[in-house]
Structure 1
Amino acid sequence: MKRRKMMLAIVALLPMMPLLAGCWSQREIDDLSLVAGIALDKAHETKVEKALTKNGATRKKEDLISITYQIFTSSSGGGQGKGSGGSSEQKRYENFTETGDLLLESTREISLRTERPIFAQHFKTLVIGDELLRTTPIRSFMDLMYRESEFRPSALVFVARGLARETFELKGAKEIPAFRILKMVDNQYKSTRILPPVSLAKLLTLLQSKSSFLLQAIVKGGGEIKFAGAGVVHGQSGKLVGFLDEDELGSITLITGNVRGGVVKFADEETGQKNLYEILSYKSDIVPHVEGDNISFEVRIESRGRLSESWVMNEKSFDDRFLKRQGQYAAKQLERNIRQTLEKIQRKYKADVIGFSKELRIHEPKTWDKVKSQWDQKFSQAEVRVHAKTIVTEYGASGSKVIEHRNPPGS
């Protein structure tokens, strides 16, 4: 009887056996072109593309956009050169560029050039060339990224000063450029000139709300890359309208309060010598004020930090009067930098990339409902008052004290 029951149980389980093979649809990693990063540029064929076209590789297309995939290679970098008897260092990545009018079609074309199909589920960075972003609304060419489930929403988005694909080429072979860009974002605790990351998911929210925003800018030179300010994308047009330099981007992060670390360079007004105030902690508030049809804002800033470097000679570094004076100069310089950047954002670009609209919507919802359809224009006319307070808590390795300075309003 027991044996019969066991046989019936085995027979009942047999139809379920195929379902237990959990990897029936697996794709071997070695058979795929794993994508580390993607670069988008206005149509600009590479030498390889031109050579292939010249030799007969043609298709019906209109050259509008170039897409570059940076993929891992099977080499881990380093090793014995084949047949050479010596060591040779190989790149850990390879770049494939296709130019056409539709991104998905161009992606499929790459399968005609490599034995391994493109697999983008693990890509980390997307870099957009400035020429493409100036001439084409970002909503147009980003459509594929949101329709195709293979593109991960956590990938970070950047803008290049020049060709985006050039940022995917570095000197040496040890590092994958798309990954270096990603890791550079982690240095935000050292500098105010690095924006909080903008992911594909966050970008979609900005595009849907038609809000103006900033993208971290990257520049290539001498075989190296560097974060170099930010690109300003206008909410209504969806196009790049210009750039902020590194100092101006630093001022933006000081206004928003997205500061994990950084420095303020200023001069001692009595001696003209340069000093450096290092931010240890930071807080910023944007307060809207509405009087009839007049909208204005107040930016209140408070920072604690150290006097990390001083070129002022013949002064006692621990003297209260000296430290208070330096705190005053740091606060004045901070306010001056912010006002200059606001002038550019409001008058030249007419784009609220800072988030004043959010504060107005929260604190004055009725006013926001009236002006939201023309907010960038309203913002360009709004008065913004800036008040900074610095607190010097450290002045070197040999001691610490608290010296506070609040810069008088309007000074």
Structure 2
Amino acid sequence: MSQSRTTQVLLLIVGCSILLTGCWSSLPIEDRYLEAGIAFDTVPPAERGVEQIDYPQKQRIRRTVQYILPEAGAKSSSSQEKKFENEEVVGDSIMEMTRETFLTNRSPAGFHLKTIVISSRLLQDIPMHELLDFYLADNDIRLSLQVYISTGTASDILEEHLAGEIPAFLLKELSDNRKRISRLVKPVTLANMIGPLTSESSFLLPNAIVEKGVLKIRGAGVVKGKTQTYAGYLNESQVEGLQWIKGEISGGIYKVQEPELQQQFVYEIKSLKSKVNATVKGNDISFQIEMNSKGRLSEVFSSKIKKMDNHTLEHYSEIVEEEVTELAKKSMAKLKEMHVEVADLGKALRIQHPAVWERVKENWEEEFVTIPVTFRTKVHLDDYGASSMTAD
């Protein structure tokens, strides 16, 4: 065998050995503490400084981390077995609190982190970019993890609500129900937040709370763009109206009262499209929002309603149009009251009238409060379910 041939064979053997060798720095999965969720709460002033430590540290933030326990599944297949544990650390630096975990001989890993929940009370004192800077820069953290706000105690979200379930995972799964519930705001990932944080634009976060021991997503919290702090709360009706304005409803229902019969009926949303038109006349700006939806008459509460009658469908379409328009107006009024613009009006103005946007963008949310907004709603009821039962 020639020398060049021998050299090639040796290089091939060495190359194969390198490729077949395991990662030298890896740890067995049972020795890792996989982070599933994190909650940030404020530390009440009465509790600050109580813990005696010999390391300089302000006790401003309470960080609760939820770890998955892989060994729990190995010992028992019971669905009732607790599969996680929570750990609290108090401090003033997110990275420092993360490293505190190593004092307990653990090796935490953040690449399975699914959710972060931030207390609205904490976000009044500490800007969002300070709380999330570490996670946006950490290579182990995936930008697909979802961020929530909580008007209650954020760490309560990570307590066990269903036996055998991991709360951080359960919270993420609740957001998948948007195709059935129009009051759920779109989930927000770390990747989604980079743009608003950089441009100092206001944005929404889903509000996670615990009610009577049940984990829920109810309403939304608003983060003010300029300060990146908590600006206020939108209730479920205000969120629903905003979803109509932005055309971000994936499905769900809208319950309406028929004014003549004083009976309710349910409009099931099959599709929704929204368009924002910006009009500029001199120095005056105005917006017209068109909302177009198709759906079905899914449920009626009166035997006098003839679901298969075209006149009935037209009549009920008009009722839904009026109700949705009022809903959208109330949501827009709430945004103006809070001095936050999260309805994408500025985005429409920037695209349709870029020169005007350059003039008003620095003080946009104050300008927005004075700008008139009108609505045009078109609803088409093209379905009434599989059957029609009346008393006739």
1:179 and 2:140 correspond: no
- The match for 2:57 is 61
Distance 1:236 1:315 in 2: 51
How big is the shift at 1:341?
0.9
Name the residue aligned to 2:341: 352
Q: Which residue of 2 aligns with 1:378?
A: 367
Q: What is the correspondence of 1:9-408 to structure 2 with a 5 Å cutoff?
A: 9=8, 19-20=18-19, 21-43=21-43, 53=51, 59-76=55-72, 89-113=80-104, 115-346=105-336, 348-398=337-387
Confirm or deny: 8 A CA contact 1:67 1:99 kept in the other structure. yes
Distance in 2, matches of 1:121 and 1:336, equals 45
- The code of the aligned residue for 2:179 comes to Y
Amino acid aligned to 1:23: C
Q: C-alpha displacement at 1:9, in angstroms?
A: 4.8
Aligned residues: 385
Q: TM-score, length-normalised on structure 2?
A: 0.91
Q: Give how far 1:300 is off.
A: 0.5
Shift of 1:149: 1.7
- C-alpha change, 1:256 and 1:6, in structure 2 (3 Å) is same
Q: What SS does the aligned partner of 2:117 have?
A: strand
Tell me, in whole angstroms, the C-alpha distance in 1 between the residues paired with 2:275 and 2:97: 47
Pairwise CA distance, 1:253: 0.9
- The verdict on how the C-alpha distance between 1:397 and 1:27 changes in structure 2, with shifts beyond 3 A counting, is same
Paired residue type of 1:35: E
Indicate conservation of the 8 Å contact 1:75/1:91, yes or no: no
* 1:312-333 deviation per Cα after TM superposition (whole angstroms, max 9, x unaligned): 2323222222222211111110
Which whole-Å CA distance do the structure 2 matches of 1:88 and 1:9 have between them? Answer: 55
Task: Compute the displacement of 1:57 (Å).
Answer: 6.4
Work out whether residues 161 and 167 of structure 2, in 8 Å CA contact, stay in contact via their aligned partners in 1.
no
Deviation at 1:148, TM superposition (A): 2.1
Looking at structure 2, the residues matched to 243 and 235 of structure 1 have their Cα atoms a distance apart, in angstroms, of 15
Tell me, which stretches of 5 or more residues in structure 1 are unaligned? 82-86, 400-411
**Equivalent pair of 1:284/1:302 in contact (CA under 8 Å):** yes
- Give the structure 2 partner of residue 409 of structure 1: none
CA-based RMSD? 2.5
Tell me the amino acid that sits aligned with residue 107 of structure 1: T
SS at match of 2:70: coil
Mapped contact 2:79–2:163 kept (Cα < 8 A):
no
CA distance in 1, matches of 2:235, 2:299: 24
Given that residues 124 and 230 in structure 2 are in contact (C-alpha distance below 8 angstroms), is that contact kept between their aligned partners in structure 1? yes
SS at match of 1:260: coil
Provide the rounded CA distance (Å) in 2 between the counterparts of 1:384 and 1:237.
Answer: 26
Q: Deviations over 1:236-263 (max 9, x none)?
A: 1111111001111011111111121021
